Structure 1
Amino acid sequence: RRPRMFRMMAQHAKKHPGLVPQFFFILLGMGGASLYLVRLAKGPHVTWNHTGNPEPWNQLSPTYQYKFVAINTDYKNLKKEGPDF
């Protein structure tokens, strides 16, 4: 048995078939946004365990690429400029 919302969407799509692509792309966008949020939540700069490793970003090498897309920065040639903590 499908949930009530999906049943209502299916009935509405039968009456107005031009809305089917709109439903598809809205669901596709919501799914993509959800996957991106999951990706961000698993990043090296996010701390979920404050007792085990409160500052995980200090253990990353200076050549780690933080950005999703790096256009002007070559991370392979970076040197560490700060002290070790």
Structure 2
Amino acid sequence: MLCQILCQAKKHPSLIPLFIFIGAARTGAALYVFLLALCNPDVSWDRKDNPEPWNRLGPNEQYKFYSVDVDYSKLKKEGLDF
């Protein structure tokens, strides 16, 4: 498949930016999925020791990738402790 891409790039040099952007998009998407699988509190890899990882997060911890206008350091916890 790589040979086919290189042959197409040699015949049509205008396709090179397209291949670069598609490769960068695929790499970015794979890295984002990897980040979500490892750092998201909704994903539990260890069911025995930590079956509910979302309960150990404090109210001032940011677990979202990007938050527009929420300052997590000033949030207070609402509700009961379990």
Fold shared per TM-score above 0.5 = yes
Matched, 1:82 2:79: yes
Looking at structure 1, the residues matched to 68 and 3 of structure 2 have their Cα atoms a distance apart, in angstroms, of 45
Matches within 5 A, 1:18-57: 18-42=14-38, 43-57=40-54
Looking at structure 2, the residues matched to 77 and 47 of structure 1 have their Cα atoms a distance apart, in angstroms, of 27
Letter in 2 for 1:30: R
Partner deviation per Cα, 1:25-50 (whole Å, 9 max, x = no partner):
10000000000000111122311111
How much has 1:13 moved relative to structure 2?
A: 0.8
Residue number in structure 1 paired with 2:58: 61
Partner deviation per Cα, 1:32-69 (whole Å, 9 max, x = no partner):
00000001111223111112211011011110113222
Looking at structure 2, the residues matched to 37 and 44 of structure 1 have their Cα atoms a distance apart, in angstroms, of 14
Unaligned ranges ≥5, structure 2: none
TM-score, normalised with respect to structure 2: 0.89
Matched, 1:72 2:69: yes
Unaligned ranges ≥5, structure 1: none
Partner deviation per Cα, 1:9-36 (whole Å, 9 max, x = no partner):
1111111111011001100000000000
Q: How many residues align?
A: 81
How much has 1:81 moved relative to structure 2?
A: 1.1
Looking at structure 1, the residues matched to 4 and 66 of structure 2 have their Cα atoms a distance apart, in angstroms, of 40
Higher deviation after alignment, 73-82 or 23-32: 73-82
Matched, 1:12 2:1: no
Is the partner of 2:18 in helix, strand or coil? Answer: helix
